[in-house]
Amino acid sequence: MKSSKIASDPRKREKYLAIIDAALEAFAEYGYHDCQVAKIARRAGIADGTIYLYFANKEDILISVFQEKMSRYLEEVRAKIAGCDDPWEQLAALVRFHLENSEQNPVLANFFQIQLRQSSPQIRSGISGPLRQYYRLIEEIITAGIARGRFDAAIDPKIAREMVFGSLDEIVSCWVIGGQKFSLAAQVPGFLRLLRGGLVTG
């Protein structure tokens, strides 16, 4: 892996991250397929060829942006969760952070919701790793909640995770595609209530 080697070299790390950030913005602005490598280079203030000292190819840039941002995101979510002991509180913190973070980083949200879904087999496999960690984190909270009797024992943790993540993803997607016209953070209580108690009365 070219990028991972470079990512860990402290001297190159800075320029590597500059390219990552330039790419994030450029992908968000033009869309992956309409974003030439030259545009990323210009935005990063470097020559086209320099990109290829840090990334194997254009796909590698996309994947690296995701991995870099996702791993940072995972760290932050874990930090948020560490503050609570109760599984429900943890899940609520995760939901809150997911939506608030998207709202505060619309470019990143656009990237996650839109640009990333340019499924080529390569891209999908590069994405699956870090994403699975997020999946696992959610499932662990749910499993712990069941074990502690906080969550319904009849729940299938995988389906519950799909519901949590899928709902958050859809909420953010609608917000991004719709032009970010409402507050994401304001959706938190409504969604948590649904998640907690379900649809049906009584």
Partner DNA sequence: GATGAATGAGGATTCATTCAT
Partner DNA sequence: TATGAATGAATCCTCATTCAT
For the bound state, the minimum distance from the C-beta of residue 148 to its own copies, rounded and expressed in Å, comes to 10
Which one, of 30, 21, 9, lies nearest residue 61 by Cα? Answer: 21
Kindly indicate which of the ranges 36-44, 94-102, 107-115, 123-131 contains the residues binding DNA, using the contact rule CB under 7 A: 36-44
Give CA–CA dist 61/40, Å, rounded.
10
The residues, any chain, with a CB within 8 Å of residue 4's CB and separated by 6 or more, are none
Subset of residues 63 to 92 that bind its own copies, contact rule: CB under 8 A: 88, 91
What is the greatest pairwise CA distance in the chain? 64
For the bound state, the minimum distance from the C-beta of residue 83 to its own copies, rounded and expressed in Å, comes to 20
For the bound state, the minimum distance from the C-beta of residue 11 to DNA, rounded and expressed in Å, comes to 6
| Amino acid identity at 140 | E
- Which 3-state string (H, E, C) describes 95-109? HHHHHHHHHHCHHHH
- Mark residues 95-134: x for contact with its own copies by CB under 8 A, - for none: -------------------xx-xxxxx--x---x------
Q: Which of 19, 77, 99, 168 binds its own copies (CB under 8 A)?
A: 168
Structure tokens at 54: 């840090």
The residues, any chain, with a CB within 8 Å of residue 59's CB and separated by 6 or more, are 120, 122, 123, 126
Whichever of 1 and 154 has its CB closer to its own copies, that residue is 154
Binding site for its own copies (CB under 8 A): 31, 33-34, 88, 91, 114-115, 117-121, 124, 128, 142, 145, 149-156, 159-160, 162-163, 165-171, 173-174, 177, 187, 190-191, 193-201
